[in-house]
Amino acid sequence: MFTGIVEELGSVVSMERRGDGARLRIGCSTVLSDAFAGASIAVNGVCLTAVDLRPDSFAADIAPETMARTNLGDLRPGRRVNLERPMSASGRLGGHIVQGHVDGTGEFLGLSSIGNDNWWLRVGVPEELDRYLVWKGSVAIDGISLTIASMESRVMGVTIIPHTFEKTTLGGYQPGGRVNLETDVLAKYVEKLMQGRGSDN
């Protein structure tokens, strides 16, 4: 489990296509301090298994499903990515419960200054995810735990504070780009329970 608190900005070293999947290599340092082959590391909010560890990088194999559902297939050498290790049993839940299981991608619409180094982020949301996103609810955007400040006509608005802007990839996005979205898992459990309850009546 992750919390959506980005630990490090990594850099894509290589993206090697392998059929419908790929092998990704990420240059980094902090998340390697206690890493081992088979460890989980979230890359832009996608839980990947680290392999072929080196002093300054790790590799991860990306399955075809992950290539189709996330923006990892859009990555090119030199691109920065958000990295996070799983939360330890004694750690603090600083963001919210993030599984690293991306539900789909949204469209980056824009990032505009609202003063004092704060920013307003707008993301277009696919119809199938809209019902899980609510005002003041939690969402992970490219692995970053954020609070939804507005939700209207499938456009999500989020306030980005200076620390988040500085320590994540958000400042480098262009309109029309894809961002990974993971909705709050609790909403999906509630939906499933309510559906089952309805069928019993």
Q: Which residues are catalytic?
A: 2, 40, 47, 49, 63, 101, 147
Helix residue ranges per DSSP H, 70-178: 127-130, 162-167
The values of phi and psi at residue 144, to 5°, are: -100, 125
**Strand, coil or helix: 162:** helix
Query: How far, in Å, CA of 193 to CA of 157, rounded?
Result: 29
Of 115, 191, 184, 190, whose CA–CA distance to 145 is shortest? 184
The values of phi and psi at residue 165, to 5°, are: -60, -40
Query: How far, in Å, CA of 66 to CA of 101, rounded?
Result: 9
Query: How far, in Å, CA of 28 to CA of 44, rounded?
Result: 14
Q: Count CB-CB contacts under 10 A for residue 35.
A: 16
